[in-house]
Structure 1
Amino acid sequence: MSPAETVLEVRDVVKIYGGVRALGGVSLTLEAGQVHCLAGENGSGKSTLIKVISGVERPDSGVLIIDGESHSHVTPSQAIRAGIQVIYQDFSLFPNLTAAENIAMLSELADRRKLSSRRRIREAAEKIVTELGLHLDLDADVEHLSVADRQLIAICRALVGEARVLIMDEPTTALTHSEVDRLFAIVRRLQERGVAVMFVSHKLDEVLKISQYVTVLRNGEVVESGPASDYTGRSIAKAMTGRDVSEERLVEELPSGLAPVMRVSGLGRKGAFRDVDFELRPGEILGITGLLGSGRSEIAEAIFGVAPADSGHVDINGSPRRIRSINDAVRAGIGYVPEDRLTQGLFLEKSIADNMVAASLDSYRGKALLLDRARIRRSMALLFQRLRVKAPNVQAPVRSLSGGNAQRVVIAKWLDRKPTVLMLNGPTVGVDIGSKEEIFAILREQAAEGMGIIVISDDIPELVSSCHRVLIVRAGRIVAEVTGDDIAVDAIQERMTA
């Protein structure tokens, strides 16, 4: 197959939902052996375009041209048979099936097999896992695996089939640097075989590292398109948002002598972490980072009572608090935005308002223990406006929101409760550049009012720009603290991998 051969062309595609134009005449071309970056803020139309290409949504007008044949629309099965595979941002895995079964599922269905073979499934899964150089427990049920492992399983499943067009929607959000490098090595092998890859990512350094061509969507329209060599991270961000995006440090030094709002002493849990000590001051944004498996998330989950610590102490405002459950943590004044907001942080079938009020219902009860619904409506309307949630109104289902807006709803849920300490695990995973800035602006506002903020993340640039201090976790222990002028991307990454 010639490297310049067009595999898929999207021509003048329009999609309208309830009078709102999600796509307004989008056109792009995917060529064999080319990695084509699709960039844009949440709500720009990227997900809708992917759904049209994969047959999940039918466009209102426009055509898809696959191998020279024009289609007004395709069904999901037609797309798969044409070699179009998608790695969705929410993984779309079967939690009650094993890793191996999830990996081999699509190939089994594509072959129209009436009976499955454990040996065949295992062999197919082992082959792609070995090719990627990954370490996965193929016999484990997916529901018991980490977010990172589920991400890897979704990638493996897409690559098992004979893909001619591979769409990767935020495929690296939970991967370490070494795992991303291995994935990119596989992508390059796919290029050599003539596979066209559409790469969707908010990590612009990754976009420029792997892509040959860039298309930027804004408000459902193509605003920029051209060779990746013509772009920088800053120019892509500006095209996405329509404005210059700051990369400077945005926090100021805190006053000295402030009594900590939280003190963690000798915290440990067997097999996860040990001897964890740190303080959090009022108004401070504290970053915690480390490679996946370092224990960074486990520390946060212990403090919040998800998986309580075996040893150590947590003091809030100078008072010792025994945290053996989530309820204990909430009563102590601790809030937590989890890593997987879709399954752990939100009630997807409920409205935005119902989700926002979920953690603070008791505060709206009157003397007869009845809910003051008028006060709830006023508070939810204020939060909705304050956090700039992009949705028709607070009654819209949270399932309909983009990643950045869904994250704002999770944050709003805790802000309504006014915790002393708010911890956020991967707060901007799958969130676009503009929403990242706005989310951290909200966190800085809360810190300025005296709240203690902890951000657990492997997005080093966002920690550098927004944290007063950064703690490095390795092998279950805090091995370094980075402060002041030492807070820089290179310095943090060096300590993470030392």
Structure 2
Amino acid sequence: MSDNILELRHIGKRFGGVQALDDVSMTIRAGEIHCLAGENGSGKSTIIKVISGIYTPDSGEISIGGETVAKLDPIKAVNHGIQVIYQDFSLFGNLTVAENLAMNTFVMQGRKRMDWRAARALAQRALDRLGVSMDLDAEVGSLPTANKQIVAIARAVVADARLIIMDEPTTALTRHEVDALFAIVRDLQAQGIAVLFVSHKMREMLEISERLTVFRNGRKVAEGAMADFDEAAITRAMTGAEIATDHYHFTDRGAEPVLEVRGLSVPAAVDGVDLTLKPGEIVGISGLIGSGRTELARALFGMEREMRGEMRLGGAPVRPRSVQEAIALGIAYVPEDRLTEGLFLGQSIKRNMVVSILDRLKKGLFLDRAAMDAETARMFSAMQIAAPDAELPVGNLSGGNAQRVMLGRWLLTGARVLILNGPTVGVDVGSKATIHAIIRDLAVREASRC
């Protein structure tokens, strides 16, 4: 048997007029931790779906364990030991840990009834292999993100995985949880299981991976031992350019604060926070998941009815009790989870952009479509949004472009205070640099008015 778990040779895949994968060759060895990097739209998701049998390549060959596999489909991929853990984990939230871990095995065995004792035993063995302890009777939907991920990994182990693909596995994890995940990944490696680690996070790539493959525009542009790369080299390979690391230097010109908060509290989340924000100033608020940073942001945006404390905007006391009141006061909020809290995924980019200013766009009983087009075009330019048509569904955009739509939406309101909750979560290095540059430019322009 070959030491290579997976070999892709000259893989090509086209969707309409878009060449998603162009002559891609790639090898993953047994027991290897291999990182796959690339910007959004580089072809990472497409190659994962080719490996897992969801997409059939237009050209090229796939070899698993030294055997060339024709017409790979999802069932064949699983039978060959390939498991994918997507960002949503694809678990049954209303079932217990034991039921989630036993479900696929029992279905494959053709069982007609649930054997609870066998399910618990199977689940316990899987968790023991990972060296973790968990309540087998806990509903998965009630678990924290890190534990859901462990259940997903354990399910792959139950299925005798030889290659586990982890798609952005650390997006919602704290540093402590990342360390625990990496310990599990290294334990999988010790058991001879290969891991393909797909991530945007440079430091984590360098920390966990032995080899690296980089995609750009559907092509493999770099590959080699991780020891041969640093953050700058990975960035150059991903973007094809040097990404400057600029810092924002705020100069206090003595202007009155635009926002003042004294003793802000939210029950069970935030206790007695004081905060001052001056025009053109960028204030960072950091904390682990559950530390209260999101509740603080929501309170400032009128989303926490039980907020206590004093809040002043431009020197005047305010207390927004709703999102509508906050917007009217000139406060804007970009949530951390743009997919569930920020965007109307089935609606067009244009509609998502102008939804915050519909009252301003009214022309009698209808909306002024010329004004809608003008405002959208202005924000496309200002936010550097890469999309061929503003009428496309916003759900089709990459994470970086979708986040810029969110920023543009709130800038159209002329907000005096812009609250950004994790503004670069789930975006690639190039988009992150662009978003940071936009934020710096906004602050510079605001500071220059004072």
The two structures have a TM-score, normalised by structure 2, of: 0.90
- Say if 1:273 and 1:99 are closer, same or farther in 2 by CA, change over 3 A: farther
> How far is the alpha carbon of 1:77 from its aligned partner?
2.0
Separation in structure 2 between the aligned mates of residue 36 and residue 151 of structure 1, nearest angstrom? 19
> How far is the alpha carbon of 1:262 from its aligned partner?
1.3
- Say if 1:287 and 1:113 are closer, same or farther in 2 by CA, change over 3 A: farther
- Say if 1:424 and 1:106 are closer, same or farther in 2 by CA, change over 3 A: farther
> How far is the alpha carbon of 1:110 from its aligned partner?
4.4
| Corresponding letter in the other structure for 1:343 | T
1:89-132: CA deviations, max 9, x gaps? 34445555566655655445444444445666666666666746
Contact 1:39 1:200 in 2 (8 A): yes
- Partner SS, residue 366 of structure 2: coil
Contact 1:165 1:198 in 2 (8 A): yes
Q: Which residue of 1 aligns with 2:226?
A: 228
- Partner SS, residue 264 of structure 1: strand
| Corresponding letter in the other structure for 1:228 | M
Separation in structure 1 between the aligned mates of residue 10 and residue 45 of structure 2, nearest angstrom? 16
| Corresponding letter in the other structure for 1:407 | Q
| Corresponding letter in the other structure for 1:292 | I
- Partner SS, residue 48 of structure 1: helix
Structure 1 residue 318 and structure 2 residue 312: aligned? no
Q: Which residue of 2 aligns with 1:58?
A: 56
Q: Which residue of 2 aligns with 1:385?
A: 381
Q: Which residue of 2 aligns with 1:83?
A: 81
Contact 2:93 2:139 in 1 (8 A): no
Contact 1:128 1:160 in 2 (8 A): yes
- Say if 1:158 and 1:403 are closer, same or farther in 2 by CA, change over 3 A: farther
Contact 2:35 2:205 in 1 (8 A): yes
Q: Which residue of 2 aligns with 1:17?
A: 15
Separation in structure 2 between the aligned mates of residue 346 and residue 121 of structure 1, nearest angstrom? 40
Q: Which residue of 2 aligns with 1:5?
A: 3
Summarize the alignment of residues 15-414 of structure 1 with structure 2, pairs less than 5 Å apart.
Answer: 15-94=13-92, 105-116=103-114, 131=130, 133=132, 139-140=138-139, 142=141, 154-155=152-153, 157-247=155-245, 249-366=246-363, 368-414=364-410
> How far is the alpha carbon of 1:186 from its aligned partner?
0.7
Separation in structure 2 between the aligned mates of residue 358 and residue 369 of structure 1, nearest angstrom? 16
Contact 2:123 2:136 in 1 (8 A): no
Contact 1:356 1:409 in 2 (8 A): yes
1:162-207: CA deviations, max 9, x gaps? 2211111110111111111111111111111111111111111111
Contact 1:136 1:149 in 2 (8 A): no
1:110-161: CA deviations, max 9, x gaps? 444444456666666666667464778964563x766666556555554553
Structure 1 residue 437 and structure 2 residue 427: aligned? no
Separation in structure 1 between the aligned mates of residue 127 and residue 357 of structure 2, nearest angstrom? 44
Which has the higher mean CA deviation after the structures are superposed, 349-358 or 170-179? Answer: 349-358
Separation in structure 1 between the aligned mates of residue 137 and residue 418 of structure 2, nearest angstrom? 35
Q: Which residue of 2 aligns with 1:418?
A: 414
Contact 2:258 2:277 in 1 (8 A): yes
- Say if 1:99 and 1:219 are closer, same or farther in 2 by CA, change over 3 A: same
Q: Would you say how many aligned residue pairs link Structure 1 and Structure 2?
A: 447
**Which structure would you say has the larger Rg?**
2
Contact 2:23 2:219 in 1 (8 A): yes
- Say if 1:35 and 1:418 are closer, same or farther in 2 by CA, change over 3 A: same
The two structures have a TM-score, normalised by structure 1, of: 0.82
- Say if 1:281 and 1:116 are closer, same or farther in 2 by CA, change over 3 A: farther
> How far is the alpha carbon of 1:33 from its aligned partner?
0.5
> How far is the alpha carbon of 1:341 from its aligned partner?
1.4
User: What is the aligned-residue identity percentage?
Assistant: 49
Separation in structure 2 between the aligned mates of residue 327 and residue 52 of structure 1, nearest angstrom? 45
1:265-296: CA deviations, max 9, x gaps? 11112211200110111111111111222111
Separation in structure 2 between the aligned mates of residue 32 and residue 260 of structure 1, nearest angstrom? 58
Separation in structure 2 between the aligned mates of residue 25 and residue 38 of structure 1, nearest angstrom? 16
Separation in structure 2 between the aligned mates of residue 301 and residue 117 of structure 1, nearest angstrom? 45
